Amino acid sequence: MANQVKVSNLGYPRIGKNREWKKTLESYWSGKMDQETFRSEMADIQLQHLQTQQAAGIELIPVNDFTFYDHVLDTAAMFGIVPPRFDYDGGEISLDLYFAMARGNAGATACEMTKWFNTNYHYIVPEIGRQTPRLTENKPLAAYRFAKERAGIEGKPVIVGLYTFLKLSKGFAASETAEVAGRFLPVYVQLLQELAAEGVAWVQIDEPAIVTGASEEEWKLLDTIYQTIASEVPGLNILLQTYFEAAEPLEALLSLPVQGLGLDFVHDGGTNLESIERLGWPADKWLGAGIIDGRNIWRSDLDTKLELVRKLAALTGADHLILQPSSSLLHVPVSVAGENKLKKTVKNALAFADEKLAELSLISAAFAGSEEAAAALQASREALEAFRALPERGRQDVAEQVRGLAQLPDHRSLPFAERVKLQQEKWQLPLLPTTTIGSFPQTVEVRQARLKWRKGVWNQERYDQFIREQIESAITLQEKLGLDVLVHGEFERTDMVEFFGEKLAGYLFTQGGWVQSYGSRCVKPPVIYADVAFIEPMTVKESVYAQSLTKLPVKGMLTGPVTILNWSFVRDDLSREEVANQIALALRHEVLALESAGVEMIQVDEPAIREGLPLKAEDREHYLNWAVKSFRIATNHVKDTTQVHTHMCYSEFNDMIDSISAMDADVISIETSRSHGELIVSFEEQEYDKGIGLGVYDIHSPRVPAVEEMTANIDRALRVLDPEQFWINPDCGLKTRGWQETEDALRNMVEAAAIARGKSAVLNR
């Protein structure tokens, strides 16, 4: 029997099989649980995760991947990096301060939250400024001790690397990075020295920022960081971990004085293997080979994976090879075991976190020549063959529609400058019109009603009546508050992607396929397993009813094709571009159905368009081209007087402004409240000629901002934007907020808009 290569994991989902983590967090936040009970229950969840990985045969089990909110926030807190607006006098960060940084409190706004590379996970952005870091608490050491004492596990502490931490932070100029790194490096060394003194064998230092491309100066900084660590902590084994893309140039990474290098062999386009074959592999270094997809939920083709392992073992030596997922399993659900409603052929094709760990152990055993593993490989092979043969995965009608895209017009019939005049004549909106992004609070009552309907306790008629009552209340409230363009509230929707997936062909839905999006916010992404196609109108009934209740315009609300794609688990046998086009064609039918029913303001949201942007600069133009095309497929056939809106989450606007303009939406709203000033700079540098709403308050925090705070945000925007093009809105949907805070915040927003209109009127006299 050949050597059995080591098996490792990079990170385990925090939320628990039944979202125990989320429920514990929210109980603590609501005051239903004291701090001692909270910490005890969180420790039990953490222990269960460790034991699960231990039982799966994982030899290098990550510790410090567990968190109460976010691992980047943990790193900032561990180094005492607290924005000055919070009350902090040094020392260990209290739970109240920790959560205030994430969520805000009565006296201070929350820290900015943005996407973790090109995923739908959000991290809390550290605000460094002139602060001097100090080790307030060695969290990796505490996690290592916990695993050893409670489970007998010699864990592998996981740390966000200094280079990546600084790349993800704000509060200093790029030219100051080396100086800031000099402040942090002694604290990183202290942390690692304490781990070494404890007897830790391996430390995983995550440096995913490397794969986005590093300049010559940045490579010098990386070299300084790791030369210093090697000099100051010589007895510690460092696994420098990259993921999400190819690590280039590999020769620069191999020159760093670390004992192991973790590479992604799933999302690298084959580049990492090509580089190793070209360069060879140093005899003194370990390779952490990310061979199982850490970001999607499909069973692996184990024959292909085993072939890759054999190639890698021949290049590195089996005694220096570690098998692992391509990234942390944070991005996938916990276990397929409870998915009892899926047909067997489909369920057998899925692999969540626990199943991926089993695949790694199986590949290691198969590499070693285990007869038992050979039988398991055959069973996996048969499961994949049955799934691939499903007829709905190769529909000829859908293929013909996609081929016919070349014959469809790719633009609106009139340019924006001409159609905006027709739209203003039709809608007669005031200067600085007010609106919301779409959703209103999803209360316990709403969720319970939906559950009763799904379980058959309520019939369709009773459920529809309940939804109509919620819509009527929302319309009444919006009219009372004085909003100019209304929404129906989306009370019938569980999730902005799941709702549409349930009504389109080609989707399936899990019972427990939850993943963390931010904080305690978990989403259950739908699964695109077959060809996507329109079946019947999906939103017309509720939109038409809402419009019948008011003379003010009510927006029809759809989720755009790229967001539906990026917020779903997507089949892996077609390109993402082709799947996006299938979705766009289905949405095209829905847009036409709304317009035909008299709903002529239609919002097609694309909050995730930035999220899908490739990490490599050279790949971005192709992605943006097809992403823009898919949006236009869905929307460009409407009348000139039909006003198309869209919504996006925060992006570095200046690097996408041409593509966003090319989408040709009449109005775009952007989630910016946590980074408002930074985005304004983009408009100082570049011109945007269409309607735009920059979110004037943060809906992710429970605090209600004052009128003066919103007015200041509006004033900043109007320094660089024409009042004729500016809309006033929250920065995102209000689904997660309570009714009282929603009403209070919107009332303040409408008052701030009135103040801004008054100022504009004075200036225009």
Give the pLDDT confidence of 446-473 residue by residue, as tens digits: 999 999 999 999 999 999 999 999 999 9
Burial profile 195-204: b = 16 or more Cβ within 10 angstroms, e = fewer: bbeeebebbb
Residues in CB range of 606: below 8 A, 6 or more apart: 560, 562, 563, 631, 646, 647, 648, 663
In tens, the pLDDT along 492-519 reads 998 889 899 999 999 999 999 999 999 9
Average pLDDT over residues 70-98: 96
Residues in CB range of 35: below 8 A, 6 or more apart: 28, 95
Highest mean pLDDT pick, 84-93, 222-231, 611-620: 222-231
| Residues forming a β-bridge with 556 | 602
In tens, the pLDDT along 359-396 reads 999 999 999 999 899 999 999 999 999 999 999 999 99
Q: 664 pLDDT band (50/70/90 cuts)? A: very high
Let me know whether 524 and 377 are in one domain: no
Is the residue at 17 inside a domain? yes
Q: What is the mean pLDDT of the chain?
A: 94
Q: 660 pLDDT band (50/70/90 cuts)? A: confident
CA dihedral 45, 46, 51, 54 (to 10 degrees): 150
Residue 356 belongs to domain with CATH number: 3.20.20.210
Let me know whether 125 and 172 are in one domain: yes
Let me know whether 356 and 479 are in one domain: no
Which range (75-89, 275-289, 347-361, 661-675) has the least confidence? 661-675
Catalytically annotated residues: 700
Contact between residue 353 and residue 9 where contact means Cβ atoms under 8 Å apart:
no
User: Could you list the residue range(s) of the whole structural domain that residue 520 is in?
Assistant: 417-763
Average pLDDT over residues 245-268: 97
Of the residues 343, 376, 391, which one is the last residue of a structural domain?
Answer: 391
User: How far apart, in Å, do the first and last CA atoms of the chain sit?
Assistant: 88
User: Running DSSP on this structure, what letter comes out for residue 2?
Assistant: P
What are the structure tokens assigned to 11, written together? 């990170």
Token pair 């009139």: residue: 414
Is the residue at 405 inside a domain? no
Binding site, annotated residues for L-methionine: 437-439, 490, 605
Q: 762 pLDDT band (50/70/90 cuts)? A: low
Is the residue at 401 inside a domain? no
Is the residue at 482 inside a domain? yes
Is the residue at 38 inside a domain? yes
Of the residues 391, 408, 431, which one is the last residue of a structural domain?
Answer: 391
Q: What is the pLDDT of residue 71?
A: 98
Helix (H, G, I), strand (E, B) or coil at 164: helix
Closest CA to 539 of 474, 604, 482: 604
What is the CA 753 to chain-centroid distance, rounded? 31
Is the residue at 407 inside a domain? no
Q: 765 pLDDT band (50/70/90 cuts)? A: very low
pLDDT at 703 over 90: no
Let me know whether 435 and 291 are in one domain: no
Contact between residue 606 and residue 562 where contact means Cβ atoms under 8 Å apart:
yes
In tens, the pLDDT along 117-158 reads 999 899 999 999 999 999 999 999 999 999 999 999 999 999
138: left (phi over 0), alpha (psi -120 to 50) or beta: beta
Rounded to 5 degrees, what are φ and ψ at 518? -155, 145
What are the structure tokens assigned to 283, written together? 């005899």
pLDDT at 674 over 70: no
The amino acid present at 378, given as its one-letter code, is Q
Binding site, annotated residues for Zn(2+): 647, 649, 671, 732
Which range (196-200, 427-431, 492-496, 583-587) has the least confidence? 492-496
Contact between residue 401 and residue 344 where contact means Cβ atoms under 8 Å apart:
no
Q: Tally Cβ neighbours within 10 Å of residue 175.
A: 8
Domain total for the chain?
A: 2
Let me know whether 205 and 305 are in one domain: yes
User: Running DSSP on this structure, what letter comes out for residue 536?
Assistant: S
Let me know whether 447 and 383 are in one domain: no
Residues in CB range of 93: below 8 A, 6 or more apart: 77, 80, 82, 136, 137
Let me know whether 383 and 421 are in one domain: no
**Per 3-state DSSP, what percentage of the chain is helix, strand, and coil (rounded to 5)?**
50, 15, 40
* Residue 280: CA count within 13 A, CB half-sphere: 3
pLDDT at 763 over 80: no
Let me know whether 375 and 442 are in one domain: no
Average pLDDT over residues 224-253: 97
Q: 707 pLDDT band (50/70/90 cuts)? A: very high
In tens, the pLDDT along 747-757 reads 999 999 999 99
Average pLDDT over residues 670-697: 74
Dihedral (CA of 742, 747, 751, 756) sign:
positive
Average pLDDT over residues 247-266: 97
In tens, the pLDDT along 147-170 reads 999 999 999 999 999 999 999 999
The amino acid present at 10, given as its one-letter code, is L
Distances in Å between the alpha carbon of 216 and those of 122, 242, 249, 588? Answer: 29, 19, 11, 47
Binding site, annotated residues: 19-22, 115, 120, 437-439, 490, 521-522, 567, 605, 611, 647, 649, 671, 732
Q: What is the pLDDT of residue 2?
A: 57
Helix (H, G, I), strand (E, B) or coil at 99: helix
Which range (246-260, 454-468, 557-571, 641-655) has the least confidence? 641-655
Closest CA to 200 of 173, 151, 237: 237
Helix (H, G, I), strand (E, B) or coil at 646: strand
Let me know whether 61 and 120 are in one domain: yes
What are the structure tokens assigned to 631, written together? 């949006």
Dihedral (CA of 701, 703, 708, 710) sign:
positive
Contact between residue 667 and residue 690 where contact means Cβ atoms under 8 Å apart:
yes
Let me know whether 427 and 362 are in one domain: no
Token pair 């709203």: residue: 669
Binding site, annotated residues for L-homocysteine: 437-439, 490, 605
Residues above pLDDT 90, as percent of the chain: 87
Q: What is the pLDDT of residue 487?
A: 97
Contact between residue 290 and residue 266 where contact means Cβ atoms under 8 Å apart:
yes
Of the residues 376, 391, 406, which one is the last residue of a structural domain?
Answer: 391
Binding site, annotated residues for 5-methyltetrahydropteroyltri-L-glutamate: 19-22, 115, 120, 521-522, 567, 611
Is the residue at 411 inside a domain? no
Q: What is the pLDDT of residue 675?
A: 55
Q: Following DSSP, what letter does each residue of 303-359 receive, concatenated? A: HHHHHHHHHHHHHH-GGGEEEEESS-GGGS-S-STT--SS-HHHHTTB--HHHHHHH
Let me know whether 384 and 516 are in one domain: no
Token pair 């942090």: residue: 184
Which range (288-297, 549-558, 612-621) has the least confidence? 612-621
Let me know whether 432 and 512 are in one domain: yes
Is the residue at 398 inside a domain? no
